[in-house]
């Protein structure tokens, strides 16, 4: 059996969660612009994107770790994939 590359074992699973996080952050930041014409729609979009943003931040390691495991990552690589999401969030906040 051929082992997958580091990119496919670690970076793709972490990237999926980070993509969700980046998308939901941007939608959350854009939702006040929609409130000028559609306040109810804006509030709904804001709440859904905030929920997805918090799920991706808080539970990102719980999502990335099993994805990396299924891709054939070792334990060290799974931990690295799980830690990537909080580290990216912390770097964003600095």
* Residue 37 in this model has a pLDDT that exceeds 80: yes
Neighbours of 3 (CB within 10 A): 10
81 close to 68: Cβ distance less than 8 angstroms: yes
CA distance 9 to 17: 14
pLDDT band at 36 (very low <50, low <70, confident <90, very high): confident
pLDDT in tens, 38-57: 888 889 999 999 999 888 88
CA distance 3 to 11: 15
pLDDT band at 23 (very low <50, low <70, confident <90, very high): very high
Question: For the chain, what is the mean pLDDT?
Answer: 88
Instruction: List the domain boundaries for the chain.
Output: 6-93
- pTM, two decimal places: 0.80
pLDDT band at 27 (very low <50, low <70, confident <90, very high): very high
């Amino acid at each position: 059996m051929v082992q997958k590359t580091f990119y496919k074992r670690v970076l793709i699973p972490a990237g999926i969660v980070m993509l969700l996080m980046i998308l939901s952050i941007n939608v959350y930041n854009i939702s006040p612009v929609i409130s000028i014409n559609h306040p109810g729609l804006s509030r709904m979009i804001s709440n859904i994107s905030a929920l997805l943003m918090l799920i991706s931040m808080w539970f990102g390691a719980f999502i990335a770790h099993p994805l990396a495991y299924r891709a054939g990552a070792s334990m060290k690589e799974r931990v690295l994939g799980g830690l990537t999401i909080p580290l990216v969030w912390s770097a964003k906040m600095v």
